Structure 1
Amino acid sequence: MKRIWIYQADRILTVEEGQQIEVELSAFAEQWKVHGKPLSASAELRDNLFIILKVDEAIAAASGCSVDSSVRFLKGIEERYHVQLFDRMQFAYKSTNGVAVANRAIFEKLLATGEIDDNTLVFDNTITYDHQLDSAWIVPFKESWHKRLFA
């Protein structure tokens, strides 16, 4: 089973930034280790917004030290691209123009104006396994943890 970590940027990255970050993600995944041994890992950028790190736990699980190294790597991306990846109060949702991102205050205003409603698809970045990407990552607002936050 593949364990995943999803990090969402606070803005949509440019195409150029996305291409550069994908190169960095690939290099990181190739050298990512646990206790000096390589992890069976991969990393990807989706929608120029989400960084998804994956580790095949059937081969070796990431430990505290390896997770710490991924955080250091991602902090470097934050610095180089002037983006926030650890702010969990940034919300991604599907809009008529594609994937959009809003901070808590703006998201709340969009709810108040009806631009976001119970059926708006939102991204649940708290999922932890690869198989959930297809079934639990994008859900209607009414079925998400976001709903409890704004109730």
Structure 2
Amino acid sequence: MNWNFKELLPEDFAPDSRVWVYQSSRLFTMGEALQLEDLLNHFAANWKSHGTPVKGFGTLFFGQFIILMADESATGVSGCSTDSSVRLIKDIEGIFKVHMFDRLNLAFVIKDKVQLLPQSQVKYALENKFIDENTIFFNNVVQTKEELENNWMLPLKESWLGKRVLPAKTEG
């Protein structure tokens, strides 16, 4: 799989544009992905904050991650406009029968595919060498375009999760 997603991000959005990453509980089919892209494009084109258009972007990456982005350099995103994006994701859950808010299922690149692993199983996966410190981890807590570009997909050892589950390195 081609993991280079950065070239698909809008170039005209500021580095501090707000980002929300939603991870699906399963891969979307090709037909679902096409339908989903239409929903996301329609939402982004009509996203408003207190009646003012939001410079928005929405897409599906790797068949499993919905990325929403708002460039607030023109219009700030209010609570109501954030709520509308959450409603969209909840609608997607209903339409496609997926879970989009499960933060305890973590995503890794294993054998060139996105694989989900319950957080409670990460240590077991490490001990049994299903993953290691260099396994690519999807850090879905990124909050800006710049963080998305630089810290979304990173080796486990460089992530917040790695600090929790990997043995501490001793200086010698």
Secondary structure of 1:139's aligned partner = strand
Please state how far the C-alpha of 1:18 moved relative to its aligned partner: 1.0
Say whether residues 1:34 and 2:65 are aligned partners: no
Instruction: Quote the residue 2:155 is aligned against.
Output: 140
Please state how far the C-alpha of 1:149 moved relative to its aligned partner: 4.2
Question: What amino acid maps onto 1:39 in structure 2?
Answer: V
Please state how far the C-alpha of 1:15 moved relative to its aligned partner: 1.4
Cα distance in 1 for partners of 2:26, 2:124 equals: 18
Cα distance in 2 for partners of 1:66, 1:138 equals: 27
Unaligned runs of 5+ in 1: none
Please state how far the C-alpha of 1:148 moved relative to its aligned partner: 3.9
Please state how far the C-alpha of 1:100 moved relative to its aligned partner: 1.8
Please state how far the C-alpha of 1:103 moved relative to its aligned partner: 2.3
Please state how far the C-alpha of 1:106 moved relative to its aligned partner: 4.3
Instruction: Quote the residue 2:142 is aligned against.
Output: 127
Instruction: Quote the residue 2:93 is aligned against.
Output: 78
Q: Are the aligned partners of 1:12 and 1:101 in contact in 2 as well (CA < 8 Å)?
A: no
Instruction: Quote the residue 2:70 is aligned against.
Output: 55
Paired-residue identity, %: 37
Structure of larger gyration radius: 2
Between 50-59 and 130-139, the greater mean CA deviation after superposition:
130-139
Please, what TM-score do these two structures have when normalized by structure 2?
0.82
Cα distance in 2 for partners of 1:50, 1:91 equals: 12
Please state how far the C-alpha of 1:109 moved relative to its aligned partner: 3.3
Unaligned runs of 5+ in 2: 1-13, 167-172
Instruction: Quote the residue 1:5 is aligned against.
Output: 20
Cα distance in 1 for partners of 2:163, 2:30 equals: 34
Cα distance in 1 for partners of 2:128, 2:145 equals: 34
Instruction: Quote the residue 1:19 is aligned against.
Output: 34
Instruction: Quote the residue 2:125 is aligned against.
Output: 110
Cα distance in 2 for partners of 1:95, 1:82 equals: 25
Q: Deviations over 1:23-55 (max 9, x none)?
A: 100011111110011101010100011100011
Q: Are the aligned partners of 1:91 and 1:102 in contact in 2 as well (CA < 8 Å)?
A: yes
